[in-house]
Structure 1
Amino acid sequence: MLSKENNNDKILPVKKIGPIVAGIIVGVVSVFLLYSIAANRRFEWNIVLKYIFNENVLSGIFWTLWLTLLSMVIAIVLALCLAMMRKSVNPVLRGVSWFFIWFFRGTPVYTQLVFWGMFAVLVPKLSLGVPFTSVEFFSIDSNVVMTS
């Protein structure tokens, strides 16, 4: 038995070579991939560089990022509301929350994309008014809403 007083040996962790080799392989493959992309004439980099800072492209990038941020904020607010509804003691709120979550989690994303993409065909006009009468307070074309 060794006593605790005489145990002056340093214990070093075992060096594993696997992560180092894997890192080198990934690095080499990445360099070759980047080189093949940069050296490929079919990309026509002169045209890419000509149009990458075009006003329309930059505007599209801006609107894409803005809509991404906006949709993320809306999704977080909706998720918080649904979570509070799900924890509510009111059975109606719990049921509505359960159905909403069940429906959108159970429907494939591609099906939802097709539905929302074809929404303007299915519902040509969005309006707010008195039901079962011709009285309308507000009306807008669905194509305007979906393509804005």
Structure 2
Amino acid sequence: MTTPKIIPARNWGQRAVALLLIIIVALLVSLVATSRHIIWSAIPQYIFDETILDGIKLTILFTVLSMVISIIAGAILAMMRLSPNPVLSAFASLYIWFFRGTPLLVQIIFWFNIQLFIPSIDIGSFHVDTNSIITAFIAALLALSLNEAAYMAEIIRGGLMAVDSGQHEAAKALGYTPGQAMLRIIFPQALRVIIPPIGNQTISMLKTTSLVSIVAAQDLLTRAQNIYARNFLIIELLIVASIWYLVMTTIASAIQFIVEQRLGKSTNQTPGFVTNALRLMRAEGRNG
């Protein structure tokens, strides 16, 4: 007796939608490519323009610095949020509520104009003009870092809470202090939960830095705007900026994928140190 051949059902609805999408995309590409109002020859000319490359460097610098600062601040805020001390927990909750509840663009403009209500910093005989400290670069960096710290705090807190509660008890049984348990046991295990969203936030930050152009912080978008303000090649320069943003986010996505793959292998191959220690202690107890 022969086994009947299974023929998958043809989903004509999906095929029709796919065909419609192909037609729409093809029409949009054709519409843009054949536009007489875009000087395509100008795009290669500005791809490696020195001004554009300087803007890319500053965009990467903004991304790296703001992510480093926000991760450190976010870790502190996450531990404060989880603290049994009501003052620390309330402060962290208030910080997260405020910075996640107000638009980043507003925060950038606020820091850039802080000299309007704090014109100078006076501490005893020390006097300094606020404008000399809070430059466009510092204002943008403060806004990006402090805003991102609120999101990092929730990401890290979620990662810490994902660690099995038995790990806390095991660390305590092994004589670890709460600080030692957090740094040596809990936090390393939470990394496998924390790393993926941090990677996503870093990729998002690469694009979010474009908001600092509102205060002329000389990032990639600001440099592109400066050029098209002189030659009026608005669409062409925006395409150049978009190409570089795509390149940077693609590289960042590839790095994130590699890190996640290696992290996944390491967590799958090596069991937790505390779990092993507890097993050993239990075995010794039974043998004794």
Q: TM-score, normalised by structure 2?
A: 0.41
Contact preservation (8 Å) 2:112, 2:134: no
Name stretches of at least 5 consecutive residues in structure 1 with no aligned partner: 1-5
Contact preservation (8 Å) 1:124, 1:143: no
Matches for 1:1-148 after TM superposition, within 5 Å: 8-126=3-121, 129=123, 134-136=124-126, 139=128, 141-142=130-131, 144-148=133-137
Contact preservation (8 Å) 1:85, 1:94: yes
- Aligned partner letter, 2:72: V
Alpha-carbon distance change, 52 to 120 in structure 1, aligned in 2, over 3 angstroms: farther
Residue by residue, what CA displacement relative to the aligned partner does 1:66-99 show, whole Å, maximum 9, x if unpaired? 2123323333333222221111111121011011
Q: Relative to structure 2, which stretch is displaced further, 93-102 or 117-126?
A: 117-126
If you compute each CA radius of gyration, which structure gives the higher value, 1 or 2? 1
Alpha-carbon distance change, 45 to 92 in structure 1, aligned in 2, over 3 angstroms: same
Relative to its length, the structure with more strand (as a share) is 1
Cα distance in 1 between the residues matched to 2:116 and 2:99: 21
Relative to its length, the structure with more helix (as a share) is 2
Q: TM-score, normalised by structure 1?
A: 0.71
Aligned length: 137
Contact preservation (8 Å) 1:88, 1:94: yes
Residue by residue, what CA displacement relative to the aligned partner does 1:1-41 show, whole Å, maximum 9, x if unpaired? xxxxx894455543323333222222222222222222212
Name the % identity.
33
CA-atom RMSD in angstroms: 2.8
Determine which structure has greater relative contact order: mean sequence separation of CA pairs < 8 Å that are 6+ residues apart, divided by chain length. 2
